[in-house]
Structure 1
Amino acid sequence: MTALDAVSVYTPAHRVPIESLAEPLELTDVQVRLFRRFHGLGEVRLDPDRSLADLLRAALDGLVELRGREHRVRYVIHGRAMPVVVPYPHNPLHEVCREFGLAHALAFTATHQSCASGLLAVELAGRLLAADADDDALALVLAGEKAFTRDARLLPGTSIFGEGASACLVSANGRRDRLLSYACDQRGEFDTEFGERTELFQREYRPSLAGVIRRAVADAGLGLDDIALVLPHNVNVVTWQRLCTLMGFPVRRVLLCNVPVNGHFFCADAFANHRTAVERGLLREGDRYLVATVGAGAGATFSAMVFEH
């Protein structure tokens, strides 16, 4: 059974108030107030002195469980929202693989589900390990990106992106944080690159996410009351408040404390929230918890996973 053997997260110490981003992001005073007061976004974490490779290095430096087991890592997958992040021929994924003794591993990037690609990477890792002849094989899932352009820093009217990274060691037979189910709904009609589709996407966003969450919970043989905690994508606070109202799920069981201080970490939100939940003792042995995220761009992807801690 696919399991998260270890999770490491790097979050920059440098936090920037969203008011200071008004000029570079071309936000009006009204838009800034909307982000802070309505969406619950106060600051975002940025690390202007680190490259994408540096962010991934920082996450890997904290993954102490990898040391001495590098030879067992067969696959390295970078779950990424942006299809292009550095100019050719630079390749930060292969660069960090060489530096951390992982040059032998099959390394590739998954991007086509935008911010939901992090969960896709975990699913792909599990499938590859299940088909591998070596029962001791491991996979490494990386996430994290630079907010390097205005389009990469801002989801208009919805969220502001921050910078951080995560490294997750995945096994096929781990005993903790075991994956119970994965549900994914890809909707090509929600192509937000075209204005006429934006309204449709916004109208169907919460019902579509609620649907995939219910499916993941049902596929795990559970009900919503069995879910001890939800680890959300950090798009904003109000989205999750309204989603909980729609689903009849208590918002106090959604971990939202990172939204005001981190911003949206692209594909790394789930892993950053996992670390917070573990550090704060919010997950006990045997608890079932849910991770949910949405990727938007050329279409939309709604994804959810249920794990047992």
Structure 2
Amino acid sequence: MGNSMVIGGTAVYVPEERLTVESLADQGLLSQNEAASLLGRGMASVPCEKALPSPDMLDLTLHALLNRFRVDPERVRYVVMPYLYYSFPYTKDVLGSLRRKYGFRQAVCFSLRDQLCSGYLMGMYAAGKLLEASEDEASVVLLTVEKCLLPGQRYGGGVLITGDACAASLLGKRLGGDRVLAVRSVTDIRTLQQGKLKNRADDVPNYFYFVNLAKVIRRTLADAGLDFGDLKVAIPNNITQETWRQLAVLLKISPELFYTEGPSVSGHLNTCDLPVNYARLALEGKLRPGDYYAMISLGNGGVIGCAVCQKGNDPPVLARRP
């Protein structure tokens, strides 16, 4: 996919409340060894939304996006969601309600949730394909949210703890914003099954993913006409720092290229990791107009993604509760 798509704006909602590792240990949801492991990795707390259910988090974030970037609802042709872990045990029509509230009369709303671990980049990839077949003025809203419903869902097994967040991005062909020079997203279920067969367990060693991940990153950079040396930063999803250090060795690049502070600041936000990390870097001035950057994701379902972009002038917006 070439330079036919633009990220016209991004809004993120990250709750101000924090849930600490110590409080989870005090509730008996973590052992002392598990808590010590997380603290040793710099994960002391995560954002936690105590008041708003996930549909209200989506509403709040979408409102901020539409208001800040002056989105014409008549131009929105699709509203797309990637895979969500814990967010919708509801009978209400969440996407339909948002469609009606914000006047997306021409929009088709759908979720990619049946594709395990389909993340933000798979949503972006799908949006690009949809835009290729749409009129030039059409746009896509990409929505994602993470909210644990039960405290026991926070713990990610030794190295991760899950926080709450929400993000919304506007994608189109004729918008101002960050140019998407290339994006790829693939699912290799053989990766998952090979890992299980080798270990006779329901976990997958990281190296089973690395070869395919390295190929996707290199091919996406080639599609964009860039090399690693052109990138200001590579923004990964919030999995273990060791993953990106090992990948840097395979790619023969400096591990300093990867932004790896996400887990210690936000914990694991699942499909919200990338837009939240991007927003943080942009608002802190670590990504400036004209900079090239890559977003990279790796999911346990075998989903691999990479997008190479050039920063535009508009900063992302932080949604806040009234």
* Residue 105 of structure 1: how far off its partner (Å): 1.3
* Corresponding residue for residue 160 of structure 2: 159
**Superposed displacement of residue 14, structure 1:** 0.4
Q: CA deviation at 1:2?
A: 0.9
Q: 1:205 to 1:154 in 2, by over 3 A?
A: farther
Q: Is the CA contact (8 Å cut-off) linking 2:196 and 2:204 kept in structure 1?
A: no
Task: State how 1:239-254 maps to structure 2 within 5 Å.
Answer: 239-254=243-258
TM-score of the aligned structures, taking structure 2 as reference length: 0.84
Q: TM-score, normalised by structure 1?
A: 0.88
Q: Equivalent residues in 2 for 1:93-172 (5 A)?
A: 93-132=95-134, 134-149=135-150, 152-172=153-173
- Measured after TM superposition, the shift of residue 206 of structure 1 is 4.0
Q: Is the 8 A contact 2:159 2:240 kept in 1?
A: yes
1:294: which partner in 2?
A: 298
One-letter amino acid matched to 2:288: R
CA contact (8 A) 1:17 1:42 kept: yes
CA distance in 2, matches of 1:62, 1:19: 33
What amino acid sits opposite 1:101 in the alignment? G
Cα gap change, 1:301 to 1:23, in 2 (>3 Å):
farther
Cα pair distance change 1:31/1:77, threshold 3 Å: same
Residue 267 of structure 1 deviates from its aligned partner by 0.7
Q: What is the aligned-residue identity percentage?
A: 27
Query: Residue 6 of structure 2 corresponds to which residue in structure 1?
Result: 3
Name the amino acid aligned to 2:284.
Answer: R
- Report deviation, 1:113: 4.2
CA apart distance, 1:207: 4.3
Check if 1:270 corresponds to 2:274: yes
Larger strand percent: 1
Deviation at 1:7, TM superposition (A): 0.4
Tell me the C-alpha RMSD between the 2 structures.
2.5
Look up the match of 1:78. Answer: 81
Q: Deviation of residue 80 (structure 1)?
A: 2.5
User: Which one-letter code corresponds to 1:140 in the other structure?
Assistant: V
CA distance in 2, matches of 1:173, 1:92: 28
Structure 2, unpaired ranges of 5+: 312-322
Match of 1:238 in 2: 242
Provide Cα deviations, 1:68-111, integer angstroms capped at 9, x if missing partner: 511111111112233x7434532322222222222541111112
Q: 1:122 to 1:44 in 2, by over 3 A?
A: same
Number of equivalent positions: 304
- Runs of 4+ aligned residues of structure 1 deviating over 6 Å after TM superposition are 192-195
SS in structure 2 opposite 1:305?
strand
Aligned residue number for residue 231 of structure 2 = 227
CA shift, 1:44, in A, is: 0.9
Which range is displaced more, 8-17 or 275-284?
Answer: 275-284
CA gap 1:236/1:44 in 2 versus in 1, 3 angstroms:
farther
2:69, 2:230 → 1: CA distance? 32
- Structure 1 equivalent of residue 318 of structure 2: none
Q: Distance in 1 between matches of 2:28 and 2:84?
A: 19
- Give 1:35-50 correspondences, 5 Å limit: 35-38=38-41, 40-50=42-52
Any unmatched runs of 5+ in structure 1?
none
Corresponding residue for 2:317? none
**Separation in 1, partners of 2:27, 2:302:** 27
Matched to 2:184, the amino acid is A
- Compared with structure 1, are the counterparts of its residues 273 and 126 closer, same or farther at alpha carbon in structure 2 (3 Å cutoff)? same
Q: Which stretch of structure 1 is more off in the superposition, 162-171 or 180-189? A: 180-189
